[in-house]
Amino acid sequence: MATGEPLAILAGGGELPGMVAAAAVAAGRPVLILAVAGEADPVDPKFRSERVSWGQIGRAVALMREHGATDVVLAGAIGRRPDYSKIRLDWMAVKSLPKLLSLVRGGDDQVLVGVIKFIESLGFRVIGPHEVARGLVAEPGSLTRREPSASDLADIEAASSAALAIGRLDAGQGAVSVAERVIAMEGLEGTDAMLKRVRDLRESGRLERDGRSGVIAKWSKPQQDLRVDMPTIGPRTVAAAADAGLAGIAIEAGRVMLVDRAATVRAADEAGLFIVARTLPPGRGM
Amino acid sequence: MATGEPLAILAGGGELPGMVAAAAVAAGRPVLILAVAGEADPVDPKFRSERVSWGQIGRAVALMREHGATDVVLAGAIGRRPDYSKIRLDWMAVKSLPKLLSLVRGGDDQVLVGVIKFIESLGFRVIGPHEVARGLVAEPGSLTRREPSASDLADIEAASSAALAIGRLDAGQGAVSVAERVIAMEGLEGTDAMLKRVRDLRESGRLERDGRSGVIAKWSKPQQDLRVDMPTIGPRTVAAAADAGLAGIAIEAGRVMLVDRAATVRAADEAGLFIVARTLPPGRGM
């Protein structure tokens, strides 16, 4: 029986909304998924769901209130920019228009912060997917059969320090260290493209290739709002790290999301990689 | 007449040894080029030169002493690892072998530091190419017709801060900022590959493309020994920055080398890019 606090999930694309819903139901929370038209994947019929369009703010709010939800999770990818010419505004959307337009003027980060503020101004509380589904993030420790060696630990430290430093610059979240030297840092190109670069450096002989060595570290930015924008790793990250000849993956405990944790850990075990979660890079204070 | 302090140039590949020799001669210093066999390009016959092989340490030292040189510049690229089986050691090289072997054990950086220490232990002083040829580095200010705009200045600051931060990590020397956001950082792949990545981000539409915008900054690492390892830009950097749609290039004054300065500035002027030299990123203390 679902007797916990009701939860609304505003769902974009991908598997995350379903994972959050399953975790919430398992924790006894009644779930309502608001699937954003044109973005959300089909919703498993075992969850209560409604389709909402951009512009149906009044309807979305009414549905959430009727469900008794105070907590809202924004989950999944919003890939397409809405086609503004096709948006039909309901009355509440019209009333909110000046506020909404002022939000859209900022950069992407500001828009998200603005959207959260707007939702909270309506009396809801926006929480992060990982606050509902604790399994989405890792506790400190090793997740895999393989454990880091002493030289891996040195690479974990170097890569984590670099990932933290570029995160402070708001420039990126990931870095790769091989033989205690930082050799790649992730910018706008993303984690997979950075790992492909490392693979190319191995193949061209500019980076040693004797067995698996080196670590990719992924850390959140200190200023990152984890409710709407979490760094993630998943089976694809494991495959790219293996292709790059790395020995393992280090993530920030509690603040980096494991997309499909079971499949991610299985892929790492099969490839012989480690995944470890850390709260702080060794040897560094906060 | 060459009446200044005699100078020896230990020459690897490329145009740099000739540039340093020309600058030294122009400053009245008698020059001896020791062209490393298998590495150095052919030397202009207007300079006094001798070919030396790996292993002819005694001969090289005798030639430098005979020339009356106390100052030595190590200039040019050492691309190929010597074929150790073919090295014939002279007596001094044999005597120095234990010391030399202990040098080769470290990483590339340590090897260079060790080589400098070894040369200095023989009574010479190793100086940087830019200490002989001041035109190889830039004074603070603009080198081009185009000057940075207000938004360019913001990108100069963001890219310079990032380049400095990753330099402190010993990870890289260059970074790109577009619209005040750091989007690419240079690791082992090098400056040209990073700029190609920015071009790809433009072409894929993941980065805005409306006219020239954004800046690449290149800074030395604080711990870098400029006598043997200077960051450089040249005409190729300008071409890659233009292809990446950037508005200009910011370099550290006095510590980043301009390979063929005239051609570099001409290429920037023709492409409509600026090149500015800075001693410190705006708004930051040392």
- In this complex, the residue of A161, A171, A206 whose CB is nearest that of residue B169 is A161
Is B172's CB within 8 Å of A165's CB? no
- In this complex, the residue of B168, B182, B193 whose CB is nearest that of residue A187 is B182
**Which residue of A lies nearest to B158 if distances are taken between CA atoms?**
A169
The three-state DSSP-derived secondary structure of chain A is CCCCCCEEEEECECCHHHHHHHHHHHCCCCEEEEEECCCCCCCCCCCEEEEECCCCHHHHHHHHHHHCCCEEEEECECCCCCCHHHCCCCHHHHHHHHHHHHHHCCCHHHHHHHHHHHHHHCCCEEECHHHHCHHHCCCCEECCCCCCCHHHHHHHHHHHHHHHHHHHCCCCCEEEEECCEEEEECCCCCHHHHHHHHHHHHHCCCCCCCCCCCEEEECCCCCCCCCCCCCEECHHHHHHHHHCCCCEEEEECCCCEECCHHHHHHHHHHHCCEEEEECCCCCCCC
* CA of B84 vs chain A CAs: smallest distance (Å): 20
* CA of A124 vs chain B CAs: smallest distance (Å): 32
Give dist(CA A167, CA A160) in Å, integer. Answer: 10
Is B172's CB within 8 Å of A189's CB? no
The 10s digit of each residue's pLDDT in A20-35 is 999 999 989 999 999 9
Contact A172, A69 (CB under 8 A): no
- In this complex, the residue of B107, B187, B200 whose CB is nearest that of residue A183 is B187
Contact B208, B198 (CB under 8 A): no
Number of C-beta neighbours around residue B92 at 10 A: 17
CA of residue A163 relative to chain centroid, distance? 16
Instruction: Give A181's contacts in chain B (Cβ within 8 Å).
Output: 107, 170-171
Contact B198, B183 (CB under 8 A): yes
Tokens 């302090």 found at: B5
Give dist(CA A243, CA B177) in Å, integer. Answer: 29
List the one residue out of B275, B182, B285, B167 whose CA is nearest residue B219.
B167
Amino acid identity, position B202: R
**Which residue of B lies nearest to A108 if distances are taken between CA atoms?**
B181
Contact B217, A169 (CB under 8 A): no
Number of C-beta neighbours around residue B115 at 10 A: 18
Tokens 């920037």 found at: B268
Number of C-beta neighbours around residue A71 at 10 A: 18
Answer whether residue A231 shows pLDDT above 70: yes
Between A and B, how many residue pairs show a Cβ–Cβ distance under 8 A?
Answer: 78
The 10s digit of each residue's pLDDT in A135-194 is 899 999 999 999 999 999 999 999 999 999 999 998 999 999 999 999 999 999 999 999
**Chain B interface test: which of A189, A196, A202, A206 (most B C-beta within 10 Å):** A189
* CA of A112 vs chain B CAs: smallest distance (Å): 17
Take residue A66 and report the two structure tokens written for it: 């009727």
Contact A217, A175 (CB under 8 A): yes
The 10s digit of each residue's pLDDT in A5-59 is 999 999 988 888 999 999 999 989 999 999 998 889 999 999 999 999 878 888 9
Answer whether residue A285 shows pLDDT above 90: no
Give dist(CA B53, CA B50) in Å, integer. Answer: 10
Residues of B with CB under 8 A from a CB of A: 107, 158, 161-162, 165-166, 168-172, 175-176, 181-185, 187-189, 193, 197, 200-201, 206-207
Determine the 3-state secondary structure of B52 from DSSP: strand
Eight-class DSSP state of B135: G
Give dist(CA B38, CA B225) in Å, integer. Answer: 25
> What is the reported pLDDT for B250?
98
Is A182's CB within 8 Å of B166's CB? yes
Reported for A118-125, long-range contacts at CB under 8 A and 24+ positions apart, including other chains, are A119/A72, A122/A61, A123/A70, A124/A8, A124/A64, A124/A69, A124/A70, A124/A71, A124/A72, A125/A70, A125/A71, A125/A72
Amino acid identity, position A187: G
**Chain B interface test: which of A166, A194, A200, A208 (most B C-beta within 10 Å):** A166
Number of C-beta neighbours around residue B106 at 10 A: 12
Eight-class DSSP state of B112: H
> What is the reported pLDDT for A18?
93
Report strand pairing: B48-52 vs B31-36: parallel
Beta bridge partner(s), residue A276: A142, A250
Encode chain B (286 residues) as per-residue pLDDT tens digits. 557 899 999 998 888 899 999 999 998 999 999 999 888 999 999 999 999 987 888 899 999 999 999 999 998 877 655 666 667 777 877 777 777 666 655 555 566 777 788 889 889 999 999 999 888 999 999 999 999 999 999 999 999 999 999 999 989 999 999 999 999 999 999 999 999 999 999 999 888 877 889 999 999 988 888 888 789 999 999 999 999 999 999 999 999 999 889 999 999 999 999 999 999 755 554 3
ipTM score here? Answer: 0.80
Residues recorded for chain B: 286
**Which residue of A lies nearest to B109 if distances are taken between CA atoms?**
A181
